[in-house]
Amino acid sequence: MGVKDVKFNRLLEIRKKASLFFMSFILLSFFQIVFPAKLHAITLKELGQRISELSQQEQKLIEEIIASEALVENKRNQIESLNSELAQFEDELSGLYQRSNELKKSIEEKRKLLEEKVVFSYKYQNNNIAKIVISARDINEVVNTLYLFRNVMKREAELIESLRLEEEEYGRILRKSEEKKREIEQVKNKIQQEEQKLVESIKKNKSLLDRVKNERQEVQSLLNEVKKRIAQIQPPGLTLVGEWEMIATAYYSAGGGLNGDGIAATGLRVKKGIVAVDPRVIPLGTKLYIPGYGEALAADTGGWIKGNRIDLAFDTLEECFRFGRRRIRVYLVED
């Protein structure tokens, strides 16, 4: 085999590898679009702000729970006071019922007496009274008879009035007793309903508080992990302030770039250090640092670069082959 044949075979091998690489690239990009990975972008500032927000929510929930628990305690004290008032009123009500029974008995007795007097008056009508007056021996007996009759009529009138007043008092006592009892029960039921709502609110807020605490702890842990990773790779002269977890592939700078003409989307010439990104995730012009790759600039885009995808430009095909496709962390460089 001659030198030309060796060179020819070498060229075929390179073309074959390049074809396989780009076929793999196309297939992987296809699956990435059909089954996109979850976007995951983190900055120290955003994490710090989220922790601050969660801490404020946590403090607010704690204050609401404390206030609600104080209100529940107040409601329970009110219910206890109402129970005492109700018990005391039941004792008073017992006395009122006793008094009402006495009044009822008195009313019955007076009604009976009144019935007897009505019967008496019916038997001894005006004619009988006239006979009594006529049969009197003298004027003094007439006066005395009329006086006695007047007193009898007066006592009957007083008895009727007394009966009326006692019946009114009896009805008033019963109405007042029942109204007071209903009023206490209504107030008690209302307070119990308010207490139940407060208890449910406390339960809900405590559940929410647990979730907020857990989320704050998770965000704090994530922030600590990001800071730890940044500290481990911290390059000299750069300040890293954020992190993206991405799927990275390589593209050949001399192959025309993703746009096919060697010029990136921002107008810069494609070379190592230029990376293609989805501008919705990493804005163009963003300075980046990629462990094992170095400083980079988000300056290119591509139809296959969507979501948490990134393409790193390399100056040789060998570097592209070596890099292949991998999951990496990309760090945001503070301007």
Q: In tens digits, what is the pLDDT along the chain, a chain of 335 residues?
A: 443 444 445 544 544 444 444 444 333 333 333 333 333 457 888 888 889 999 998 889 888 888 888 888 888 888 888 888 777 777 776 776 677 677 667 767 766 766 665 555 545 555 555 555 566 565 666 556 655 556 655 666 666 666 667 667 777 776 777 787 788 888 888 888 988 888 898 888 999 999 999 999 998 998 999 999 999 999 999 999 999 999 999 988 876 544 456 788 888 989 999 999 999 999 999 999 999 999 999 999 988 899 999 999 999 999 999 999 999 999 999 87
Which CATH fold topology does 55-217 show? Helix Hairpins (1.10.287)
C-alpha distances (whole Å) from 318 to each of 18, 21, 177, 253, 302 are: 10, 11, 101, 12, 22
CB 181 within 8 A of CB 161: no
Task: Please state the three-class secondary structure of 199-247 as a single string.
Answer: HHHHHHHHHHHHHHHHHHHHHHHHHHHHHHHHHHHCCCCCCEEEEEEEE
> In the structure encoding, which two tokens stand for residue 210, read together?
């647990």
State the burial class of residue 252 (Cβ atoms within 10 Å of its Cβ: 0-12, 13-18, 19+): buried
Which CATH fold topology does 234-333 show? Barwin-like endoglucanases (2.40.40)
Q: For the whole model, what pTM was predicted?
A: 0.54
Determine the distance from the C-alpha atom of residue 151 to the mean position of all C-alpha atoms in its chain, rounded to a whole number: 80
> In the structure encoding, which two tokens stand for residue 24, read together?
């793999």
Radius of gyration of the chain (CA): 51
> In the structure encoding, which two tokens stand for residue 215, read together?
């989320």
* Angstrom distance (rounded) from CA 86 to CA 111: 35
Residue spans per domain, the chain? 55-217, 234-333
